[in-house]
Amino acid sequence: MNWSDEGYVLSVRRHGEAAAIVNLLTREHGRHAGLVRGGTGRRLRGVLQPGNLVAANWRGRLAEHLGSYTVEGLRDHAAALLRSGDRLAGLTAAAAVCEAALPEREPHLAIHDAFASLLDALANAPGWPAVYVRFELGLLAELGFGLDLSQCAATGQRDDLGFVSPRTARAVSRQAAAPYKERLLPLPAFLQPNPPEKLTTGDILDGLKLTGHFLETAVFAPHNRPLPWPRERLVERISRAEQALSDTIAP
């Protein structure tokens, strides 16, 4: 059997002397792996980089087999980010989280499209870190672990929200949270109903802490797996840059 689709490269792992096992985030077939002959060779090395969009044809004797890909590059996203280590780290983190979190061969069109939007933000938007955090929120929702940030879980009010319960994944107002706010997760301003025009690095780190907590506890811990290390590296890079970026980042 065989099918054709478009997909974003999530990972490439060498197999034998010149072949590679490639994981793609495809539009119609979800996260799907396949063997690419010559995948580590000169002709395909630049094509098979995380984030790049490829046209893929998959062939396999049975649907459950690994099968093989033939691929053709459509858009080179990775090369455009080489000048920015932080943006490249964002791309690598998103690809690693998708590969680790998404069930194999299960279509998730919303995540495919959100990944495309994130790539556009990484290439063009000064406020790409906020888009990255929203991407992880969307991923959690798609997997059935969506956060309710619309109103306070205790009072129902929709303003003055400042925290999120790590247990219920619901927002909490500052007033209601006062007695036990040390046990809650900060809700960054850019995820609140009336976000400010400026985006601080502290807010980004709070956003990554928020999504990281629920990715870790709801998605990875039940399978005894940690957060992917490229995602941890992204947090480390932004943390190191916090002093230099502590003024503001345009959203």
In this predicted model, what pLDDT tens digit does every residue of 29-78 receive, in sequence order?
A: 999 999 999 999 888 989 999 999 999 999 988 877 899 999 999 999 98
- What residues contact residue 156 under an 8 Å CB cut-off, 6+ apart? none
- Residue 179 pLDDT greater than 60, yes or no: yes
Residues 68, 91 share a domain: no
Q: What residue numbers bound the domain in which 53 lies?
A: 2-76
Is residue 163 one of the residues assigned to a domain?
A: no
Same domain assignment for residues 42 and 95: no
Total domain count, the chain: 2
* 193 and 132 in a common domain: yes
The residue among 76, 100, 127 that closes a domain is: 76
129-143 pLDDT, tens digit per residue, is 999 999 999 999 999
What is the percentage of the chain residues whose pLDDT exceeds 70? 96
Shared domain for 72 and 88, answered yes or no, is no
Q: Is residue 67 part of a domain?
A: yes
Instruction: State the pLDDT at residue 61.
Output: 85
Regarding whether 51 and 142 lie in a shared domain, the answer is no
Whether 10 maps to a domain, the answer reads yes
Task: Clarify whether residues 66 and 108 are in a common domain.
Answer: no
How much is the pTM? 0.92
pLDDT at 212 over 60: yes
CB 98 within 8 A of CB 231: no
CATH number of the domain residue 98 falls in: 1.20.1440
Q: Which two tokens stand for residue 191?
A: 């995820």
- Give the pLDDT score at 247: 46
pLDDT score, position 62: 80
Q: Average pLDDT, stretch 76-81?
A: 89
Q: What is the pLDDT of residue 99?
A: 97
The pLDDT confidence band at residue 243, using thresholds 50, 70 and 90, is low
